[in-house]
């Protein structure tokens, strides 16, 4: 199928997730969900006496159940993502979540019975080759033993989550998706308004930032209350489950030690000067006395390049093809089949993401295409996720997904390959500078800004636990402090910027998530450095890494491509690469006559 040139026609088809279209298909899957759960329940109380064959048979039933839950859950969630104002989609999502939660509460006993086995018996079962399709998953479940409660307690927490954290998260999505920004008399989405911050005209950037701040103000107290509620909800959860800190549960999920995460945050924080040096140089490149917060993403290009959908797709397809024909084939499928929803629409969720769905189906990408060069790299980034999900499908529902710490590896790698192809096409220093600058700024945003955002989260969670409910002003202070620590005096922060924490969904949906971006970026840079050193010989190992999914611990996955994640110097090595990119960008600015020697 040929690529379309009209981005407004690029919409996904979710009906293939269902056995039949619409309401009938949803009902059929929900009925199947309940029936399989009933079959699984018959094994309650028998895990302690199971042999490997019986355990495998039970796990196969669980795999069938998870496939059904994943299909109907993604169908409802993705329908809601493209139109959060649609009452029918919201009601459907709630119906599916309630049914899934009900099933989950009926099957909590398995995790508890599996965790209760003594180590010798559990390892004996895991040693059986027939269990290999779920071995790493089962080992991970046992890591939660110190934090599990009794079955009645687990049931209560699971049942109440639907009217607790899940409900507040949904309200946040509806609130932020409905934000309309008044830009020069026209009402535009938050996504469109934020894209104006890269405009070459300083007055346009300043006006857009002021309009965003004004648009955030009306619902600010509500979003602050939502965040306060989720902060105290998590504090309660952590106390009941005996987690030592607010981020310990996230680290356990990521298969990362608290110490390694602290080392990452410290290493990045100590190198904040990389970002500050760039912003100081950027002010000179732009001819400004200094940068204001609305200038940070300003293009340094004299002419802003616009990319139509078809052209952007061709660039990304060419980039992946330059690395691997197998990966290019997967990209071609994404671009030519209805697996992507690309246009900006009213009430559509902002940003971009890849929904992995289930191994028996294909993934989906959500984008908000505004025809900027950054959108091309975002497409490459999300396609990296899509390729990872596609290639790891043989691992099955238990072991396809990696922990968050490795989840960004393929996306950042794909973005880096695409950047390299764009740079190859630019021979004039004036053309190379904007590319290098955008790439560097992407790394700064992914590593330094995400760590600064994590430190905001850290202070929000710890301050909420020590001081009680936080006011809008207190949230603003914590946001300002953590952003200023990263930026120093290189960027002036306006009072309006103090509310910009309030539209970021990661804080709401996945507390502690954002450090994984920095982890993934630095890992991907190290992986890409191996590719540059080894050339085509590196490709098979990289494809093996993606195909392995989450079937191994992170350290073993890293070893496939020759990366030692246990090396204490790993983070600094990645940061050295970014510092080298800073030097190359400054050299390009001098060569283009935009910066004094």
Give a yes or no: residue 86 inside a domain.
yes
What is the span of the domain harbouring residue 58? 7-163
In 3D space, the residue among 193, 451, 187, 217 whose CA is nearest the CA of residue 297 turns out to be 193
Strand ranges inside 265-350, DSSP E: 291-292, 340-341
In 3D space, the residue among 515, 455, 547, 462 whose CA is nearest the CA of residue 256 turns out to be 515
Residue with token string 């209350």: 225
Question: What is the per-residue pLDDT for 373?
Answer: 84
- Residue 171 φ then ψ, to 5°: -60, -40
Q: Residue 560 burial by CB count (10 A; 0-12/13-18/19+): exposed, middle or buried?
A: middle
Give a yes or no: residue 151 inside a domain.
yes
Question: What is the per-residue pLDDT for 430?
Answer: 86
**HSE (side-chain half, CA atoms, 13 Å) at 192:** 17
Give a yes or no: residue 85 inside a domain.
yes
Give a yes or no: residue 105 inside a domain.
yes
Domain tally for the chain? Answer: 1
CB 408 within 8 A of CB 77: no
Beta bridge partners of 431: none
Give a yes or no: residue 562 inside a domain.
no
Length of the chain counted residue by residue: 597
Give a yes or no: residue 322 inside a domain.
no
State pTM to two decimals.
0.87
Q: Are strands 491-492 and 364-366 parallel, antiparallel or unpaired?
A: unpaired
Q: How far apart are CA 192 and CA 198, in angstroms?
A: 11
CATH code, domain with 89: 1.20.140.70
Two structure tokens written together for 493: 């922060």
Give a yes or no: residue 159 inside a domain.
yes
CB 265 within 8 A of CB 455: yes
Question: What is the per-residue pLDDT for 376?
Answer: 94
Averaged pLDDT in 10-residue chunks for the chain of 597 residues = 80 98 96 97 97 98 98 98 95 96 95 96 97 97 96 92 92 94 94 91 96 97 98 97 97 91 94 98 96 95 84 96 96 97 93 96 97 92 97 98 89 92 87 92 95 98 97 98 98 98 96 92 90 94 97 93 86 93 96 92
Give a yes or no: residue 283 inside a domain.
no
- Residue 185 φ then ψ, to 5°: 85, 0
CA distances from 71 to 17, 96, 109, 394, 550 (A): 5, 11, 23, 17, 20
Task: Estimate the share of the chain in helix, then strand, then coil, as percent rounded to the nearest 5.
Answer: 70, 5, 25
Q: What is the DSSP letter of 394?
A: G
């Amino acid at each position: 199928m040929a690529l379309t040139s009209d981005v407004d026609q690029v919409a996904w088809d979710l009906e293939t997730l269902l056995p039949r279209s619409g309401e009938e298909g949803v009902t059929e899957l929900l009925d199947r969900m309940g029936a399989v759960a009933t079959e699984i329940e018959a094994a309650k109380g028998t895990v302690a006496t199971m042999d490997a064959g019986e355990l495998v048979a039970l796990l196969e039933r669980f795999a069938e159940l998870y496939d059904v839950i994943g299909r109907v859950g993604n169908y409802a969630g993705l329908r809601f993502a493209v139109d959060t104002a649609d009452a029918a989609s919201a009601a459907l999502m709630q119906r599916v979540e309630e049914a899934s939660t009900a099933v989950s509460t009926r099957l909590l006993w398995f995790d508890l019975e599996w965790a209760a086995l003594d180590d010798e018996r559990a390892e004996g079962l895991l040693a059986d080759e027939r269990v290999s399709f779920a071995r790493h998953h089962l080992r991970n479940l046992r890591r939660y033993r110190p934090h599990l409660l009794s079955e009645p307690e687990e049931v209560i927490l699971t049942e109440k989550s639907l009217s607790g954290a899940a409900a507040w998260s949904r309200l946040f999505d509806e609130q932020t998706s409905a934000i309309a920004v008044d830009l020069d008399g026209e009402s535009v989405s938050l996504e469109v308004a934020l894209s104006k911050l890269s405009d070459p005209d300083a007055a346009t950037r300043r006006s857009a930032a002021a309009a965003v701040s004004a648009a955030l103000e009306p619902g600010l107290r509500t979003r602050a209350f939502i965040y306060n509620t989720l902060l105290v909800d998590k504090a309660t959860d952590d106390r009941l489950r005996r987690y030592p800190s607010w981020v310990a549960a996230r680290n356990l999920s990521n298969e990362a030690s608290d110490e390694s995460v602290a080392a990452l945050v410290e290493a990045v924080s100590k190198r904040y000067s990389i970002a500050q040096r760039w912003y100081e140089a950027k002010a000179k490149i732009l001819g400004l006395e200094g940068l204001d917060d609305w200038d940070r993403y300003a293009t340094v290009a004299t002419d802003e390049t616009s990319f139509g959908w078809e052209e952007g797709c061709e660039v990304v397809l060419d980039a992946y093809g330059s690395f691997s024909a197998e990966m290019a084939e997967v990209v071609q499928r994404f671009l030519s089949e209805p697996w992507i929803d690309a246009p900006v629409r009213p009430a559509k969720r902002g940003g971009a993401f890849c929904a992995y769905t289930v191994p028996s189906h294909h993934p989906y990408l959500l984008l908000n295409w505004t025809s900027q060069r950054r959108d091309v790299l975002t497409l490459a980034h999300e396609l990296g996720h899509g390729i990872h999900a596609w290639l790891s499908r043989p691992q099955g529902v238990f072991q396809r997904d990696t922990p968050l710490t490795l989840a960004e590896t393929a996306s950042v790698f794909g973005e880096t390959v695409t950047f390299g192809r764009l740079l190859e096409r630019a021979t004039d220093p004036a053309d190379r500078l904007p590319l290098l600058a955008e790439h560097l700024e992407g790394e700064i945003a992914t590593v330094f800004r995400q760590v600064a955002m994590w430190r905001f989260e850290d202070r929000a969670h710890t301050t909420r636990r020590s001081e009680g409910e936080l006011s809008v002003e207190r949230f603003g202070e914590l946001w300002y402090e953590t952003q200023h620590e990263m930026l120093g005096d290189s960027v002036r922060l306006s009072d309006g910027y103090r509310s910009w924490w309030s539209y970021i969904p990661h804080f709401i949906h996945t507390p502690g998530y954002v450090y994984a971006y920095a982890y993934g970026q630095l890992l991907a840079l190290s992986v890409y450095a191996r590719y540059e050193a080894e050339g085509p010989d590196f490709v098979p190992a990289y494809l093996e890494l993606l195909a392995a999914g989450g079937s191994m611990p992170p350290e073993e996955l890293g070893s496939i491509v020759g990366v030692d994640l246990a090396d204490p110097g790993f983070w600094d090595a990645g940061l050295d690469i970014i510092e080298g990119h800073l030097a190359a960008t400054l050299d390009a600015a001098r060569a283009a006559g935009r910066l004094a020697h």
